[in-house]
Amino acid sequence: MPCTMANGLQGLRPLVLGLHPLVLSLLLCVLGPSGSQGGKLLVVPMDGSHWLSMVAVIQQLHQSGHEIVVVAPASSVNIKEGAFYTLKMFPVPFQKEDLEAIFVSLGHDVFENEPFLQRVIKMYKGVKRTSAMLLSTCSHLLHNEDLMASLAARGFEAVLTDPFLPCGSIVAQYLSLPAVYFLNGLPCGLDVDGTQCPSPPSYVPRSLSVNPDHMTFLQRVKNMLITFIQPFLCSAVYSPFASLASKVLRRDVTVQDLMSFGSVWLLRNDFVVNYPRPTMPNIVFIGGINCVTQKPLSQVCI
C-alpha cells in the first residue's frame, strides 16, 4: 500500500470511529428491508393470572402489525374472544367451573399461614390435581389432528407461551418453531435448569424457604435441603408432560429438554422485589409489564 494512501486512511480513522453508530444505522437502512413487516405468532397461554399479564403484550404486538392466533381449551376461565387476536378453541372433557374451583383453592392455599412442611405438602397436592387437568388439556390439543394440521399450515414464525404449562414447548417443537417463554418463575428451580444458569444454594434463596439474601449457617442448610427435595416434588407434576412429549415427538424427551427449548425468556420480575441472582444472556427482565394496567389508589382513611 502506498504511504500516501496509508496516511490518508489513518487520518480518516478517527472520523470513521466517531461516526460508527451513524454508519451502522445507515448500513442497516440500506441493507435491511424497506419497511418492517409483521409476523405470524402462535400463542399457547396459561389460564388465570398468567393470561392477564400476557394479554397486554399480545395487544402491543398486534399494534406493531403482527398476526396473532391464540389456542385455548373451551373450558378457559379468563381467555375469551379478543379484537386483536384470533382465538381457536378445542374441546376438553371438563367444564369451566372445574378449572375455576381449582384456581380458587390454590389462591387460598398461598395465603394460609401454616408450618413450612405442611404448606409444601398441601401445595404439592393442589398443584398435582391442577397438573392432571392441565395434562389432559395438553393431550387433547396435541391429539386434535385437524387443529394441529391447520396450525402447521398457517406458517407461524414463533410460539409465545408460559412454560409453567410445558404444552406450549411441546407444540413449538412439534411445529419446529422457536419458543419465547413469558413467565414470572417456575417451581423447583426449573427455570434455572432450563437456562442452565448457576444458582448456588449457599447464596441464592430457594422458593418457599423464606430465607433472606444474607443467610445464616442454619438457613443455608435449610436451603440445601430444599434443593435436594425440589426435583422429587416436581417430578410427579412435570414428568407426565415429558412422557406425553416423547410420544408426540417420537423421541426421548426430559423435563429439562422441555424447559431448555426456550430461545428467549421474558421474566416478569425485577431485582427490586426479588433477590439478585445470576442470569443468562437470553433472559430479559420485564417486571414493569405488571404495571401496564394501572388504576389510581383509593382514598384510605387512617
Write out residues in the chain with pLDDT < 70, as ranges: 1-37, 103, 105-114, 116, 120, 124, 208, 290-294, 300-302
Regarding beta strands 86-90 and 158-161, do their DSSP bridges make them parallel or antiparallel, or are they unpaired?
Answer: unpaired
What torsion, rounded to 10 degrees, do the Cα atoms 169, 171, 173, 174 define? Answer: 160
Sole residue written with cell 433472606: 212
Q: What is the pLDDT of residue 225?
A: 84
Q: What is the pLDDT of residue 20?
A: 47
Q: What is the pLDDT of residue 292?
A: 63
Question: By percentage, how much of the chain surpasses pLDDT 90?
Answer: 32
Q: What is the pLDDT of residue 200?
A: 81
Q: What is the pLDDT of residue 106?
A: 64
Which residues make Cβ contacts (< 8 Å) with residue 137, sequence separation at least 6?
A: 73, 75, 92, 167
Which residues make Cβ contacts (< 8 Å) with residue 192, sequence separation at least 6?
A: 199
For residues 210 and 104, give the distance between their C-alpha atoms in angstroms, rounded to a whole number: 23
Q: What is the pLDDT of residue 4?
A: 38
Does residue 22 contact residue 140 with C-beta atoms inside 8 Å?
no
Which of helix, strand or coil describes residue 288?
helix
Q: Could you tell me where the beta strands, DSSP code E, fall in 40-82?
A: 40-44, 67-73
Question: By percentage, how much of the chain surpasses pLDDT 70?
Answer: 77
Q: Which fold does the domain 40-291 belong to in CATH?
A: Rossmann fold (3.40.50)
Cα distances from 90 to residues 94, 141, 283, in angstroms, run: 12, 7, 32
Single-letter code of the amino acid located at 61: L
Sheet order of strands, 179-183 included = 86-90, 67-73, 40-44, 158-161, 179-183, 262-267, 283-285
CA angle, residues 160, 108, 115, in degrees to nearest 5: 110
As a whole number of Å, the end-to-end CA separation of the chain is 82
The residue ranges of every structural domain in the chain are 40-291
